[in-house]
Amino acid sequence: MTEHNEIKEDSIQKQIIQAAQQLFQIHGFHKVTMDDVAREIGKTRSSLYYYYKNKEEILDAAIEVEMREILREISQAVDQAPDLEQKISAYCMTRLKISQKRRMFNKMIDNGTNADEISDYKKVRNTIHNRFRQMEIPLLRNILNFGIEKGQLRAMDPKEQDDLIFVLLSSIQGFKKDMVIKNNFNSIEPAITMLTYLIMQGFKK
């Protein structure tokens, strides 16, 4: 396959994913058909099957794109922070801000779900959550290793790092729920400041 053809195919795949995301958000995943996606990009349904076997595969690709975009945005915020304390804070703040975007993404899957589909829907949500968590772990490990290299944190073995990362991820999950209940992002900032302080003090060199 030539480079030109690879670029063309990549462009078509992006069109398919973007069209599907829009349709899923408007009508809900379960109401959208492969014909709907094909019409949206001016293609035939048979041409879509060259790239994706069914709409579940399109959804999976859309989720993958969404997760990588979110992770890239978080990584950029962390990279721009000059020291460990600000990197931890940048991770937490950006992660929570983006969670609003993920709520919209989850709604597009949920929209139109009937009682018989609830169980499958919950499995999809759990799969997304677990996949994204696995993608976050290396980023958090890099943040901790940065602090260790700069002498801001004491050395930690892999098990201790894993435990601290688990605490961080669980805290973010708790903050997210509280933010939804209060419908106020600013109310979470003092908690993030406290969490960052506790990490800095509890694991300082």
**10-residue averages of pLDDT along the chain (205 residues):** 56 90 84 92 90 89 86 95 94 86 58 52 71 91 95 93 94 82 75 92 89
The closest alpha carbon to 25, from 98, 99, 101, 94, belongs to 101
Residue 160: per-residue pLDDT:
94
Q: What is the pLDDT of residue 151?
A: 93
- Looking at residue 124, what is its pLDDT? 67
Residue 70 to residue 95: CA distance in whole angstroms: 8
Which three-class secondary structure state does DSSP give residue 54?
A: coil
CA angle 23, 24, 29 (to 5 degrees): 135
pTM beyond 0.95: no
Rg of the chain (C-alpha set): 20
Domains by residue range for the chain, with CATH: 62-202 (1.10.357.10)
**Are 108 and 24 contacting, i.e. CB atoms less than 8 angstroms apart?**
yes
> How far is residue 98's CA from residue 111's CA, in Å, rounded to a whole number?
20
